[in-house]
Structure 1
Amino acid sequence: MSDALSPRRLIVVLESPVAEMLARFGVELGFRTVLVEPDPTRRGGTPRPHGDTFVGDLAAAAPDQHTDILLTDHHRPEIGTLLKEALAGQSRWIGILGNPRHEGPHLAALRELGVPEEEIGRVHRPVGLNIGSRTPPEIAVAVLAGLIADRNHRPGGFEF
Structure 2
Amino acid sequence: MAANPDPDPACDVAHGTREPERTDRVLVAVFASPVAGYLLRYGADLGFRTVLVDPDPRRADDAGARTTMPELDATTDVVVTDHHRDELGEMLRDALAHPARWIGVLGNPRHPGPHVAALTALGVAQQDIARVHRPVGLNIGSRTPPEIAIATLAGLLADRNHRPGGFEFPVAGAG
TM-score scaled to structure 1, two decimals? 0.86
Amino acid at match of 2:131: R
How many residues are treated as equivalent by the alignment?
Answer: 146
For residues 25 and 44 of structure 2, the distance between their equivalents in structure 1, rounded to whole angstroms, comes to: 10
- Compute the displacement of 1:101 (Å): 0.4
Structure 1 residue runs of 5 or longer lacking an equivalent are: 48-53
**Identity of counterpart residues, as a percentage?**
61
Residue 153 of structure 2 corresponds to residue 155 of structure 1: no
Aligned residue identity for 1:100: P
Instruction: Tell me: higher relative CO, structure 1 or 2? Use CA pairs within 8 A at least 6 residues apart.
Output: 1
CA RMSD after TM alignment: 1.6
**How far off its partner does 1:143 sit?**
0.2
Q: Deviations over 1:84-104 (max 9, x none)?
A: 111110110000000100111
Q: Equivalents in 2 of 1:20, 1:13: separation in Å?
A: 11
Of residues 122, 147, 152, the one that matches 1:113 is 122
Q: Secondary structure at the match of 2:151?
A: helix
Distance 1:156 1:45, change over 3 A: same
Describe how 1:13-24 pairs up with structure 2 within 5 A. Answer: 13-24=30-41
Question: Which TM-score applies when normalising by structure 2?
Answer: 0.79
Residues 27-38 of structure 1: pairs in structure 2 closer than 5 A: 27-38=44-55
Q: Secondary structure at the match of 1:10?
A: strand
Structure whose alpha-carbon radius of gyration is higher: 2
What residue in structure 2 maps to residue 50 of structure 1? Answer: none
- Once the two structures are TM-superposed, the CA of residue 46 in structure 1 deviates from its matched residue by 6.7
- Please state how far the C-alpha of 1:65 moved relative to its aligned partner: 1.1
Match 2:139 to one of 108, 119, 130:
130
Amino acid at match of 2:66: V
1:109-132 C-alpha deviation (Å, 9 max, x unpaired): 011111121111100000000000
Which of 83, 86, 89 aligns to 1:77? It is 86
Residues of 2 paired with 1:44 and 1:14: CA distance? 12
Give structure 2 stretches of 5+ with no counterpart.
1-20, 167-175
Q: Secondary structure at the match of 2:115?
A: helix
1:62 Cα deviation after fit: 1.9
Deviation string, structure 1 residues 46-79 (Cα, Å, up to 9, x no partner)? 77xxxxxx31110xx2211100011100001111
C-alpha change, 1:147 and 1:23, in structure 2 (3 Å) is same
> 1:45: Cα distance to partner?
3.6
